[in-house]
A and B are shown apart, each in its own frame.
Chain A
Amino acid sequence: MIPAAFDYVAPTSVEDALAALAEHGDDAKIIAGGQSLLPVLRMRLNAPEWIIDLGRIESLRGVRDDGDAIVIGAMTPHAVVGADPLVAEHALLITKAVEHLADAQVRHRGTFGGALAHADPAGDLGAPARALGASFVIQGSGGTRTVGADDFFVDLFETAIGEDEILTEVRVPKHTGWGAHYEKFVRVAHQWPIVAVAATVRMEGDAIAEAGIGLTNMGSTPIRASGVEDALAGQPATEDAVHAAAERATDGTNPPSDLNGDADYRSHLARVLTRRAVLAAAGA
């Protein structure tokens, strides 16, 4: 199928994109890499009158070092993020999650900011963003504001980005030297996870000093498993200790039931995958 007809504009600056958004408002939809939006348009689940393409805005691409954080431009393709040495050094969890995100072709086109702004709870980047305490830089006609990961994800496919705003970059606090692992459970290759767990840990000797844990597809938004994080702090990276902490993985979750599994099954997966992810991240 092909999308319903729309008008198209490809601005070359964020300011021009915001002006187009202000002009067309509710009738417009922003396209980043389009790897989620185009299937939606082709299946006619949405039919905007205007498409505003951010693909020509060079300032939205790339990864840079900014003191205690790395900054990932919203339009940086997944493949570029996944291969970036700064990301691997300071936010290894993102490298690990991107490695198994969709497939190679989609990683070439799809973008870091586009996927996060799409806010699919089964998407692979929300959980790492929460585990790492990322913050989101959002630009509107009145200037920019920064929203923390705990407040960015509002509901299913809904974020703190206003209708007249654009996500420009994601700031990730440096987690230099932290171990990381993304444990993704899928039924079919290159699909969305039924459940996935993002884990990153700072080790001191054989003990876990600090941990960041995020859950994919365990509710209407990506979830930060702070109960597990608290329970892991100061514990040895042993099977028993991690097993006990992982029992808290379902605290505050509200997993969906669908054809891939019911909520109980997802809760079971969350505990098992948390255990595996933490042990792998700790190198145990």
Chain B
Amino acid sequence: MKKIKLPVTRIEGHGLITLRLGEDGEVAEAKFHVTEVRGFERFCRGRTIWEMPGITARICGICPVSHLLCSAKAGDAILAVRPPRAADKLRRLMNLGQFVQSHALSFFHLSSPDLLLGWDSDPARRNVFGLMEKHPELALDGIRLRAYGQKVIEALGGRKIHPAWAVPGGVRSPLSEEARDALAAGLPEAMRIVQDAISLYEEHLDDWAEEIATFGNFPSLFMSLVAEDGTWEHYGGRIRFVDADRNVVADGLDPASYQEYIGEKTEGWSYLKFPYYKEAGYPEGLYRVGPLARLNCCDRMGTPLADEALKRFRALADGKAVTSSFHYHYARLIEILASLERIGRYLEDPEVLSARVRAEAGINELEGVGVHEAPRGTLFHHYRVDEDGIIQWVNLIVSTGQNNLAMNRTVRQIAQRYLTGREITEGLLNRLEGGIRAYDPCLSCSVHAVGRMPLKVQLFDQGGALISERARA
């Protein structure tokens, strides 16, 4: 009877893929459309800077923590303060918890059914419940690992989803000794689970050779934050671009000056913007972000077990950049390992129990940029405020957006390989979703809902007439 309207719309929900055939009957064009509108950049105007972490956290239910932390960082810039050291460490700790839970969700709950039950298996069973039947131990492990990441978030923010904990200037509450000890106790099991998963992935590499070759396997630029010394980074550091040979294209870029090197293009057929590396132009400036990009960009992981894993990862491409988006899965698992190792370090650091966690200040800058690494890639929050701290203008560059060009390219590559004739087959549809899912875009949660998958594929001939359509409602 009544529509419930909530201002939390973003892109999760509905995806549409259109394929157009050329004169030769081969796929000439493939587009991945995001058909839902966001509006956050507009309706945040007029709100106060102190509300922004809470508002932007609502952009997503999987990655509220990412927006929360990034928004708080933009707030730090506007207050012109450096959060106390303990607050910095605690924010990092929460972000690592976020990496663990989000990556675990992506790999175990959303993608492992494709990987382990097979691309042509029954879609009604190709989900986490099907996984439970075939590989119950793995499914439970995945749930436990994700729960561990959630516990890290809860220990700090008081709740697992949408904790309103990070604020401009720091964080609201410190970590208690009991919570720290509980987290430390759960760490060994989480480490065991992710190491098992990495072994499992490495054992299956040969089985997935064909998908690895076609799921977004193309040379491109990669972008991520890296620490001053080139180590893998998830919260601070500077921007680095590398190319497919892992040559550093640009390094030490100030994240706050992102507009100097990142352009944003809009296309009439998608509500998602298309960021690109300005120097290379559009669309040649296609770059990828996220786990794959971070591992390609960094010099080392900075923790012993993750560094061992990075060596094996690098060996896939003889030390060059790993260019198949299929290996986002691999990179994701290695990042879980790195995150857990770092969580262990923070839990041993007595400073995380410090009660000095919040710097107070007024409005000291009228513009601020917050940048950090969300699980899916580099996230930018850019605000302008008036003298009273009221938001005048907002620009958000989210990870899924930055992979937009790459996802489109991936869809085309998969369509060219798996489309036979003029019919969209089940196998094609499965692989198209699998290709998109490798990027773990924000719409993944709905794309892999049990028994329902609102992804739709349309095939057009060269004249623009619809010749085949397939969707699961």
A binds B: no
